[in-house]
Amino acid sequence: MKIFRFGERGLEQPGVVDKDGGLRDLSGTVPDFSGETLSPAHLAQIAAMDLGTLPLVPDGARIGAPVGGTRNFIGVGLNFADHAAEAGMDIPSEPILFNKAPSCIVGPNDDVVLPRGSVKSDWEVELAIVIGTGGSYIDEEDALTHVAGFTICNDLSEREYQIERMGTWSKGKGCPTFGPLGPWLVTPDEVDTADLAMELDLNGRPQQRGSTSTMIFKPAFLVSYISRFMALEPGDVICTGTPPGVGMGMKPPLYLKAGDEMRLSIAGLGAQRQKVVSA
């Protein structure tokens, strides 16, 4: 099942994609896709509905992030073997974790705003996990039962803030609009994350071409591992790393500027498109 949220930012309503690809309005049935409404039991009730009886979403409606109320937005660094090689860094022996501010979450096609003074803003297409059932010390073999679904994230990063300004990576990761999510949240029964093609184009030119097959730490392990250090909650988002082709890795490096356009896709999860604007 593919679920989504639509409407003005901050006023999004829940929706579901029917078997013919139609966008259906669930607002008369579900208050929002956040918290407990992301539980497997609740999503199973939606999947059992006759979706064709629901009203269609108005043409041209904005698609928002597919999850609301996110409290923890967690990133995993250097989690693709080929991206680590691109960066000239060793494969980590344990996952590298950092936080993105939940306030940076926007819809999949919303503008990306360069922060004031930015000189090294970069792109990263990533598979994102959305938690449906929270917990601590989750066993790896049970981890995917805690997952509501998977979506696309553009884990935008200001590299000067991230790397050159001392302290943690979080400085360059949580700027406003630096977390586009969506368009869909796809439930685990409909997607096999073992080998999904991942792409990002900048101004129509291919930049990132990769696959989840080169992911070092897989989704089930990441959910289990992260739950050792914090209590995961429904609606939390985990970004799982990016394949090669980021701007920082180019020779010479290439960074985003106002007027650029990005298109991201992951097989089975849809596509995003963002225009870059100045603050």
Please, which pLDDT band fits residue 157 given cuts at 50, 70 and 90?
very high
CA 26 to the chain's CA centroid: 22
Round to whole Å and give the CA distance between 269 and 249.
Answer: 26
Q: pLDDT at residue 166 above 90?
A: no
- pLDDT category at 91 given cuts 50, 70, 90 is confident
Burial class (CB in 10 A: 0-12, 13-18, 19+), 229: exposed
Confidence label for 170 from pLDDT (cuts 50, 70 and 90): confident
pLDDT at 85 over 90: no
pTM reported for the whole predicted model: 0.96
22-52 pLDDT, tens digit each: 999 999 999 999 999 999 999 999 999 999 9
Residue 164 has pLDDT above 90, yes or no: no
Question: What pLDDT is stored for residue 168 in this prediction?
Answer: 80
pLDDT at 30: 94
Taking only the tens place, the pLDDT of each residue in 68-81 is 999 999 999 989 98
Average pLDDT value over all residues in the chain: 95
Q: Is it true that domain 73-278 has CATH number 3.90.850.10?
A: yes
Tens of pLDDT along 208-239?
999 999 999 999 999 999 999 999 999 999 99
Q: Please determine, for residue 86, whether its predicted confidence score (pLDDT) is greater than 80.
A: no
Whether the per-residue pLDDT at 20 is higher than 80: the answer is yes
Structure tokens at 124: 């990263």
pLDDT of residue 132: 98
Domain ranges of the chain: 2-64, 73-278
Tally Cβ neighbours within 10 Å of residue 258.
Answer: 12
Q: Per-residue pLDDT for 153 more than 90?
A: yes
| More confident position, 168 or 30 | 30
